[in-house]
Structure 1
């Protein structure tokens, strides 16, 4: 039986982009290999696409020696799977570090061996961690693979059918149970509805009588509470006026604080601008100094090249002088030999006079050549001296330029330090600015809250004014009705007004509206009422005048 260790879809650099790579371990049939590692590449879209390799322990040893692997055969499968997982993780990146390559000798992948390479990429080189030679599956291998695939699919199909059948049975059972429960609940619901209708009818009859009695009680209690509410309303109006004054004073204080903060903000912004301008100037100076340093460095490099060329010329001249010295030595040896020959030839003067003359001529020629060589040597020495002088001058210039560059680097360092200090000051100023802005925001929030409260109080005042106007209209209408009633019974005006105006038996209320704390009576007609008749009805809205606001505010609860 084969044990599957890895089976995932991977993206390979080849013509087929997505393939399925499977790694399995299985016991081999041969007695030599005990355990084999099988690597298989397939395509879900093409069932005839199959490449595989079986690696035994001996095959692994040769692979290890060829590719310089450091792991044993027992640890190789897990390490190989780790590499594949790393490649899968890198698939989504634009420049992946680990790649899976499927390489073949021909453009088509049919019936040709392929190489599965795990490659690590870097800017310098592509490193191949592992390369496996995969053989194309034969007809029998493809048939076996297809048979295994069909078997697995059938097993999955059987399992899914079992699951479906079980879920079908469970759902049908649950359906029957729920239907029975539904029937029982519907019966109970019908019973409850019948009981509910009977109870509702009995309760409505019972509570209608109680409600009428309670209404009478409520009307009595309402008159008592009306007086209490009027007193509470007066107290609340006084407290409200105090709060409004207090809030107005606070608003004025906040406005002064806001002005101070805005002035501070403008000052800090101006200081920030000055610091920014200083910073820009320092940066320009820094750039100029950098350019000067670069130009000096270029001059230094050109001088170095000139010095190197002159050193080459000097070495060439030295080699030439050495060659000339060697030639002189050789000619001196020739001269010595010629003198020896002359000494030996003196014995044969008579015979060798002609040869002696010839030798003398040769000696003269040699002397002239020696003179010319000595002159050339003198000229070479003069050239060497000139070159040495030029070298000294160049060295002095180099020293001067190095000193200048060192000074400029020092100046640059000092300027960089000043720039850093300015940046620190800028950051501190920015932090202080942020703190000030936060304080301004907090004060603005407090201001908004106070403004909201003021608006709410204004809205309350408007609603009160609306209520007052409505009450005034009602009172005027009641007054007109009472006047009409009084004119109908002119014989007994006082008694008639009390008996016929039953709705306005409580009298008329004087409402004073004043814009500048002065009360002017709107309209006053007071009929004759009996002594027992109260002036303020228990159910009407009582109007109280506030001299501070100039408005009469009703209290309707």
Structure 2
């Protein structure tokens, strides 16, 4: 009895030794086979086929005993009863994500041969991809089907296709019969409907003729009424025309009086026009002077816009460097999470080994008690042997006189020898069992020691990562505090920095020594107003290593920090990419592994990263 759990086509990444990787569509079927003769058992059958290539066949049969070895080799956490469902769930996730550009789950078929024509073994891997690592959840080794297996599989496929063909033929016959019956029924209904339509047409013709005769009579009556109404309206029109002519005559008289008044006002307006033209000539002379001044101001604006574009480019380079720093912090956090998961796994393994150790200690104590019992029996048997030897010596002296008694003593000696042989065999068997248990106990003790060492190493790494995280949190809180303080100080100092427009236009000509050079751009500030000293270069930078261990103190504690969200009101600062690149070198891990690249942080994570300042390149801190 077989139960089909999964039978669908999936996209698989095929890898060969001497050829490039390719993607192909392969049908994967997972079946659960139940057998009851002679022993009831369950087997999981995994089969790979290709609809385009009929000779492509890979099989794998997993029994409960094979699954135990697979579970130990690959560290699986499920039993054989739940393994088929979990495996089909992984295949379903691969099917749902195979059409995406960057699928999270994908299948890899690795052929252990020179080319796809050679029929060798293959490995089917279920891989989960992420920006940090490709994680293999399950790896199954499949064997290529032999000629007999391919023939039996093709025969079963042909039989199933024939059965489907028979079923389809039966369905086709049924549908033809149903359609023929429906066709005859529809033809009958069509004939009935056509007869009804003819009847309706006759009724409609009689009805329309009666309606036309009736409406013609009504139309003649309405025409007579319309002629009467037209005559009445003509009379009303003539009366209204006489009234309007009288009103028009009166309005003409009023307009003539109004015209005389407007001519007098027109003469007054011409006098005003001459006076306004004189004032307009004076204003034009003033306008030419103002336009010349405006042209000079426009030239200054063009120069300031060029400077602003260069500052924007520097700002973009700084933003890219800050994004690299954020990726580094995100990868550190991911490493800490991975270490936490590793610690939980090692703890579980340690608990399991401790339970095994306790069980082995109990079995060793039982064996020790059995050994003590056997030793006591051996001692008693040795005492009996000593007594028997003394009896033999005494009987040897009396052998000539006691011939009849000698036969009885011979029988006693044979029975004692048999008993002695049995006790010696049991003693050797118990010694071998004792040695075997001692060896197992030593192996378990060695495994426990190894696990303890691994646990200590992982605990040390976890403590180091926690210390690093604590120092990073302290640095972040300190930087946020400094940022808030500097923002408050800048808001308080902004009253003294900004000047009136007239004073700024007068100071536009001499932009030396960090003064404001653009009176129309509120984002330019003098370097002294931003808190950067121009004389002491050592007071403008602090290294990354010092901030990772403890918050900086001294001159670095009072240094101003700038956020990108305040760049609309903050000053544009000159940036040197060479010094920032040196400060942003990858940080080596404490366990000696190479530096890691960092993925960008998510929208919910907020990080603050510091970059060393110098006198020539003045970077800022970004808090997204």
Structure possessing the higher radius of gyration over alpha carbons:
1
Q: TM-score, normalised by structure 1?
A: 0.43
Q: TM-score, normalised by structure 2?
A: 0.38
Structure number with the bigger relative contact order (C-alpha 8 A, sep ≥ 6) is: 2
